Amino acid sequence: MKSKIVMGLIMFSLLLCLIALSKLWPPIISLTIIILSVFCTREIYNAIRKAGHKPIAYPLILIIVAAYPMMYFYSLSGLILTLLLTFLISFFLYVFDNKRNFSDFMTTLFLAYYPCLMFVVMLFLFMEYGMLPILLAVGGAIGCDVFAYFGGSLMKGPKIYPKISPKKTISGSITGLLGGAFGAWVMYKIFEVGNFPSHVVFRFGTIMNNPSLTYALLGLCSALFAELGDLGASKIKREVGIKDYSGALRSHGGVMDRLDSVLFSMIFITTYMVLVYGYA
């Protein structure tokens, strides 16, 4: 537990440094997202190969390398074109390479969406709206994880889905939702009210009468998606026979083990931002 707390504090300190640097040089966040996508894709790629599947690497490299420049020049259209090219390359390699089978094709598409597309969505969110919506999603997911862990440990009770994750409880899930609301609210106080240095493009406070409540409600909803993402990751790891995706972060497991819930929280926030506020 002690080593886990120390590693958590180190990662949080690095996050704060990156956020502050984003005010001086915004591309550092885009670069960080791309690097994280490489680590996470590699971790899941290796896990799936251990289970006997053989995903095709080339389309995954394409989506990671091409996504940023395509969105930089063509916005959301660039994202769609990147996904289409990824599908076409995967399909043609499956058709014309006799060593590839349908399972290889489908696992490649799976990896193209999870986690590659999710990181591309995070890139889009940052490029369109800046740091604040990303911090809202991160705050909701982290708050959910922390409150769910301590709430479940203290109150215990019935398991939420023991076949997938035997340690997760209903009480932990409920406290996790409240934690998501609290985590998002904390982000509002630090970065929108406190004006902690960051790359700001969009502010909820400029268009909302009660931005504090908006943050809390969006944090609660993002926490629900974070919990679904966490359960999904648990099922994948159980089916491929591993506890963690890797040991890159020591007691915290792999990079993907820390981001599985954040990515789903990000999907919800991106959907909300596009539907409610539109995009350029």
Count Cα atoms within 13 angstroms, Cβ side, for 3.
5
Could you tell me which residues are beta bridge partners of residue 159? 169
Nearest to 65 by CA among 88, 49, 44, 41: 41
Residues 6+ positions from 124 with CB-CB distance below 8 Å: 71, 76, 79, 270
What is the C-alpha separation between 174 and 181, in angstroms, rounded?
Answer: 11
Total Cβ atoms within 10 A of residue 39: 17
- Per residue of the chain (280 residues), give pLDDT as tens: 666 677 778 888 999 999 999 999 999 999 999 999 999 999 999 999 988 899 999 999 999 999 999 998 988 888 889 999 999 999 999 999 998 999 999 999 999 999 999 999 999 999 999 999 999 999 999 999 999 988 988 888 888 888 888 888 999 999 999 999 999 999 999 999 999 999 999 999 888 889 999 999 999 999 999 999 999 999 999 888 888 888 888 777 899 999 999 999 999 999 999 999 987 6
What is the Cα 158 distance to its own chain's centre? 28
**SS3 for 122?**
helix
Q: What is the pTM of this model?
A: 0.93
Asked whether 89 and 58 are in contact (CB, 8 A), the reply is yes
Please report, to the nearest 10 degrees, the dihedral formed by the alpha carbons of residues 163, 55, 259, 37 taken in order.
180
